[in-house]
Amino acid sequence: MTLPADAAVAAAGAGAVNVSTRSRRQSYERQQRRRATFIATSSTIAVVGLVVWLIPKTSGWQKVRETFFSWPDYTHAFGKLLRPFWFDVKIFLFCAPCIIVLGLLIATARNIRTPALFPVRLAATLYTDIVRGVPVILWITLLGFGVPGLLQTREWYGKLVIWGAAALIITYSAYVAEVFRAGIESVHESQRAAARSLGLSSGQTMRSVVLPQAVRRVVPPLMNDMVSLQKDVALISVLGPVGALRRAETIKNLTFNFTPYVAAATLFLCVSIPLTRLTDQLLQRERRRTSATAVR
């Protein structure tokens, strides 16, 4: 079917107008991004320059620089902290997947709607309430010293570091479970209703319909918990294992200088900053997927 000449000309004109409008909008958005980038860069340079100019003018700066920012002590400590820091990283790599799996199981248990399984839901609720109500350092101390003292064995399952890692898994799984539960609750009830109308059981609905959507939505906040976990791994050093924090403390006691703590902080930042930037990228991608262009 061919269009009349007038209709073809009108359609071509409308297409040209749409292309022109889209081009102007894209040009305007690029201009706004450049302007925002320039303002952000200028303000950052101004603030950093002001701080760098003011701090050395304080009366105690010279003493603080020698105590916390001594370059010879920094280079001396940094090399000695690499191996203990790798020990912390290995604990993190072991704990993270265990926390995600356990947290997902707890969140699923908290969303069980079958009356016969109410005790499971109650147990999961009590677990999250009790575990989150106690500081992480107390769980590490209680489990790290208490369980090996109870077992009285030299086998691997009686080591302090194993139960320190277990304390991190138990603690963070409660927080991660709440993140997953928020994602599950964010899935609209119509999704469940549509799945049940297709003949899916409650378990099949949760597994095939609800969980895939929930997990995709909570990836950014879940990454925030992983950043916190990467830092809290250092708390296991209270049990005695030589991690980066414990080694920095040992060097500090020998040199009477706090610069080793700064070196240890640098190592943790080398991991936490990339994880934080990855979290920001995931947040931006989720925002673009769900709500189009961000407004400045």
What is the full DSSP assignment across 5-16? HHHHHHHHHHHH
Same domain? 37 vs 75: no
Q: Are residues 133 and 41 in the same domain?
A: no
Residue 81 above 60 pLDDT?
Answer: yes
Q: Are residues 39 and 74 in the same domain?
A: no
pLDDT band of residue 3 (cuts 50, 70, 90) is very low
Please state, in angstroms and rounded to a whole number, the distance separating the CA atoms of residues 67 and 221: 37
256: enclosing H helix or E strand: none
Read off the pLDDT of residues 197-211 as tens digits, 9 standing for 90 and up.
888 877 788 888 888
Same domain, 182 and 106: yes
pLDDT at 23: 79
The answer on 96 and 36 residing in a single domain is: no
The pair phi, psi for residue 14, each rounded to 5°, is -65, -40
pTM of the model: 0.75
Residue 39 has pLDDT above 70, yes or no: yes
pLDDT greater than 80 at residue 11: no
130: DSSP letter: H
Q: Is residue 258 part of a domain?
A: yes
Grade residue 1 by pLDDT with cuts at 50, 70 and 90: very low
User: At 128, which CATH number?
Assistant: 1.10.3720.10
Closest CA to 229 of 274, 268, 260: 268
Same domain, 28 and 134: no
CA distances from 25 to 38, 101, 186 (A): 20, 45, 33
| pLDDT of residue 185 exceeding 80 | yes
Residue 205 within a domain: yes
- Does 120 lie in the same domain as 247? yes
**Better-scored residue on pLDDT, 167 or 197:** 167
Q: Between residues 128 and 278, which one has the greater pLDDT?
A: 128
Residue 51 in domain: no
**216 assigned to some structural domain:** yes
Place 151 in a pLDDT band, splitting at 50, 70 and 90.
Answer: confident
The answer to whether residues 130 and 272 belong to one domain is yes
The SS3 of residue 187 is coil
- Does one domain contain both 40 and 82? no
153 within domain boundaries: yes
241 vs 46, which has greater pLDDT?
A: 46
The fraction of the chain above a pLDDT of 70, given in percent, is 89
Mean pLDDT rounded to a whole number for the chain: 83
Ranking 134-143, 145-154, 178-187 by mean pLDDT, the lowest is 145-154
**Same-domain check for residues 33 and 82:** no
Same domain, 132 and 274: yes
Domain carrying residue 15:
5-45
- Whether 160 and 254 map to the same domain: the answer is yes
**104 domain residue, yes or no:** yes
Does residue 50 belong to any structural domain of this protein? no
For residue 165, which of 220, 95, 68 has the smallest C-alpha distance? 95
Rounded to whole angstroms, how far apart are CA atoms 29 and 20? 14
- Please provide the size of the chain in residues: 296
In a domain, 56, yes or no: no
Q: Report how many domains make up the chain.
A: 2
